[in-house]
Amino acid sequence: MVSGPIIDARDVDYSLDVAGRPLHILRRVSLTVAPSEVIAIVGPSGSGKTSLLMLLAGLEKATGGSVMVNGSDLGAMNEDALARFRRHTLGIVFQSFHLIPSLSALDNVGLALEIAEPDLSMAQIRDKAAAALTAVGLGDRLDHRPTALSGGEQQRVGLARATVADLPLLLADEPTGNLDQKTGAIVVDLMFDLARRNNTAVVLITHDPALAARADRVFTMTQGQLTETPMAKTAAAKPAAAKTRAAK
């Protein structure tokens, strides 16, 4: 990991050409996230949250401003460099899980690790993937395929996959959107625990203000503009405070 912020996005514009006319999706978005910081982004549907996540992941390119992630200037990188950057920098958790249906939980996680760390032996991959699944409480579901897992279990596989390679950044786009509230809270608990244990920075997009309030900082996206939301909260509202990490 490099020193400095894990995310340093400045004056980011993102617009698309739709039927010959520009559609402005993000307008002068700036966001700085420190290593191992956990932030949440809330905001109405269509406001640009996923678009920002795509830019931070290097899956789309900003049309203005600069996006630096883990010291890399994403605007200056070609597709190959961006693919390498993603492999070594970040894991993503999606609302709809995006697991490979023909692979077991173990192989879904193992495949992600193999891509991130191609020098590992098959035995090392198996051991690390099994450990990641055990860490999310699925040690007894290693051989289950996604269809044989509940929604919450599938998302825990998604979480194990996104964290198995021990990367500095985790991006989560409504990871609880397809889960009931209780299961969603369990998954987010796990996500924050894992992140804090591994010093992983997290960008969590959520519609649930109660989940967002558990991040270190909360931002609101409104019509493509991002603002930090002041948080008046007590220690009780934020059980796993940032201090836990600082104390390590």
Residues 141-160 interacting with ligand ATP (rule: CB under 6 A)? none
Pairing of strands 169-173, 90-93: parallel
Alpha carbon distance 152, 91 (integer Å): 18
Distance of CA 234 to the CA centre of its chain: 26
Applying CB under 5 A, which residues contact Mg ion? Answer: 49-50
Alpha carbon distance 131, 133 (integer Å): 5
Alpha carbon distance 184, 151 (integer Å): 10
User: Is the CB of residue 222 less than 8 Å from the CB of residue 44?
Assistant: yes
Residue 147 interacting entry, from Mg ion, ligand ATP, none, C-beta within 5 to 8 Å by type: none
Task: Based on the shown chain and the rule CB under 6 A, indicate whether residue 36 belongs to the binding site for ligand ATP.
Answer: no
Minimum distance from residue 168 beta carbon to Mg ion (Å) = 23
Minimum distance from residue 76 beta carbon to Mg ion (Å) = 26
Alpha carbon distance 90, 224 (integer Å): 23
Residues 40-69 interacting with ligand ATP (rule: CB under 6 A)? 43, 45-51
The residue within the footprint of ligand ATP, chosen from 23, 131, 210, 237 (CB under 6 A), is 23
Task: Based on the shown chain and the rule CB under 6 A, indicate whether residue 25 belongs to the binding site for ligand ATP.
Answer: yes
Residues that bind ligand ATP (CB under 6 A): 16, 18, 23, 25, 43, 45-51, 221
